[in-house]
């Protein structure tokens, strides 16, 4: 069977839908792509379209004698001989994230060769993307060390072409039944007075679990997050008659700034559906890491984004919308929001305390004074250690600077470092090293928000003394990252849904 992409390319609507679906996989999973590498020649078609949607660069993986300047090349085997692929030497800067794109994954030899070529230039292959995958040729096995995404899968033998005959009901009957069912569903929704939970796609699992905790209180709302060909939002949501007079909960994500516009659009329009009240949940308020101005000429990102996100939200029938945030990085940020929203700060620390239960011999460590000020009161029953970055000569190192609630019998059998977020993890490493030098036998860590830019969590998957955390607890306030680390030691994901559901349920009564 020859799978021909030409008809799809001729159809403007289907072609754009295919491009959007391919791009959406990487956008929704928050996979950072610096360059798309299109394999000659149909990879150029899909690759340039994908690069435009991912707002990144495009490079060409070509056959010999088709690229000017200095090149690198790799040979790979074919059934009838060998072939060669080439890249310009200046195509990739060291450690750039590269996504390989082609129209078809068959045996995988070409894509495997492209992977080797990119690694020659010290590029980081974050995945391989295809419109079509042929099942039965084991192409994925050759690419087992990188994530593979294909939009369509066909059996290599063409067995899908001869579909079994089915007797279909007369079209009139089918249409009449469909209309009847649709009418019943609409009537049920009109009479359903439960709170409506709408969500951005990355928050889907949290939304579904929230509804499972209180099925008699919440139902999932319907939102279609599509885009026009020019990239602007094309959002469709439930009719006003299903929202009017209901309490509405919106679960959003500020983890990726490129997803802000469509979420703002929906938050602005929901109160205009005559909803009873609106409860907005942004579990992780990302811009809080730049919350103040120490000198002129600096933008206080936290304040600016706080106003941008909420200043345009109209009042609901019962007053201002509420906004829930977990373990905000800097407490003053709560005062940056305008008066048309009521900010409710939540903490995931109870999840850790519940996880520890009656564990004896646990000592809590804060990596700096800031974390100690935020969380010390929550661990009043635990012995506490505080670390700090101090300068020794030309170096800044992390040292144990304070020990609280200690007795002569206190042992450092198990120390847990507690903070609100982690990015590179460098401070946690250094803190762990200081604790081990101080006599700790085991060291774990807990952070509410696992940020890990550029898949930095992978360094924790490794073994060895430098990476040897006993357990690394994180929550799913950033679902995009939590899904990547779940099931990989030493990570353990503590889920916020039950806590969130109980808190939101108070307003939905």
User: What residues are labeled active site?
Assistant: 42, 79
Query: Where in 106-146 does DSSP place strands (E)?
Result: 124-135
d(CA 217, CA 237) in angstroms, rounded, equals 20
DSSP string, 229-274: TTS-EEEEE--HHHHTT-EEEEE---SSGGGHHHHHHHHHHGGGGT
CA distance 231 to 362: 51
Helix (H) or strand (E) holding 499: helix 497-508
Going by C-alpha positions, the residue among 338, 298, 296 that lies closest to residue 314 is 338
State the Cα–Cα distance between residues 130 and 137, nearest whole angstrom.
15
Q: Is omega for the bond preceding 134 within 30 degrees of 0, making it cis?
A: no
For tokens 């020859």, the residue is 2
| Distance from C-alpha of 398 to C-alpha of 393, rounded to nearest angstrom | 13
The closest alpha carbon to 3, from 126, 154, 213, 107, belongs to: 154
Rounded-to-integer distance, Cα 422 and Cα 292, Å: 20
Element (DSSP H or E) covering residue 310: helix 301-310
């Amino acid at each position: 069977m020859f799978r021909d992409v030409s008809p799809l390319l001729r159809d403007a609507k289907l072609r754009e839908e295919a491009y959007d679906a391919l791009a959406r996989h990487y956008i929704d999973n928050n996979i950072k792509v610096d360059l798309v590498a299109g394999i000659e020649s149909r990879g150029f078609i899909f690759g340039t379209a994908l690069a435009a949607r991912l707002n990144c660069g495009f490079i060409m993986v070509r056959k010999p004698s088709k690229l000017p300047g200095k090149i690198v090349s790799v040979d790979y085997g074919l059934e009838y001989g060998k072939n060669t692929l080439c890249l310009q030497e200046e195509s990739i800067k060291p450690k750039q994230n590269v996504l390989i794109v082609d129209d078809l994954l068959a045996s995988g030899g070409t894509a495997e060769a492209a992977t080797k070529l990119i690694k020659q230039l010290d590029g980081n292959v974050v995945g391989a993307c295809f419109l079509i995958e042929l099942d039965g040729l084991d192409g994925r096995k050759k690419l087992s060390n990188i994530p593979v995404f294909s939009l369509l899968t066909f059996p290599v033998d063409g067995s899908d072409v001869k579909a079994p005959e089915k007797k279909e009901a007369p079209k009139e009957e089918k249409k009449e039944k469909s209309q009847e069912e649709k009418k019943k569903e609409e009537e049920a929704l009109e009479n359903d007075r439960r709170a409506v939970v709408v969500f951005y796609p990355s928050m889907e699992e949290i939304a579904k679990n929230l509804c499972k905790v209180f099925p008699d209180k919440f139902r999932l709302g319907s939102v279609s997050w599509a885009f026009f060909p020019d990239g602007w939002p094309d959002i469709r949501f439930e009719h006003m008659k299903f929202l009017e007079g209901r309490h509405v909960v919106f679960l959003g994500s500020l983890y990726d700034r490129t997803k802000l516009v469509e979420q703002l659009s929906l938050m602005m329009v929901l109160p205009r559906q005559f909803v009873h009240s609106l409860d907005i949940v942004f579990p992780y308020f990302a811009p809080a890491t730049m919350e103040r101005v120490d000198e002129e000429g600096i933008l206080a990102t936290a304040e600016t984004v706080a106003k941008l996100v909420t200043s345009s939200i109209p009042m609901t029938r019962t007053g201002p919308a509420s906004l829930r945030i977990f373990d905000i990085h800097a407490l003053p940020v709560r005062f940056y929001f305008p008066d048309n929203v009521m900010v409710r700060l939540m903490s995931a620390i109870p999840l850790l305390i519940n996880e520890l239960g009656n564990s004896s011999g646990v000592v809590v460590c804060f990596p700096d004074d800031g974390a100690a000020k935020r969380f010390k009161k929550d661990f009043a029953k635990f012995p506490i250690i505080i670390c700090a970055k101090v300068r020794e000569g030309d170096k800044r190192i992390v040292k144990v600077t304070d020990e609280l609630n200690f007795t002569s019998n206190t042992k450092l059998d198990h120390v847990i470092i507690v903070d609100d977020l982690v990015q590179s993890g460098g401070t946690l490493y250094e803190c762990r090293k200081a604790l081990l030098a101080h006599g700790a036998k085991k060291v774990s860590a807990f952070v509410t928000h696992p940020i890990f830019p550029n898949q930095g969590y992978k360094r924790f998957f490794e073994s060895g003394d430098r990476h040897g955390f006993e357990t690394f607890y994180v929550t799913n306030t950033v679902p995009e990252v939590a899904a990547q680390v779940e099931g990989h030691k030493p990570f353990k994901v503590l889920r916020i849904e039950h806590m969130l559901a109980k808190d939101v349920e108070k307003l939905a009564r």
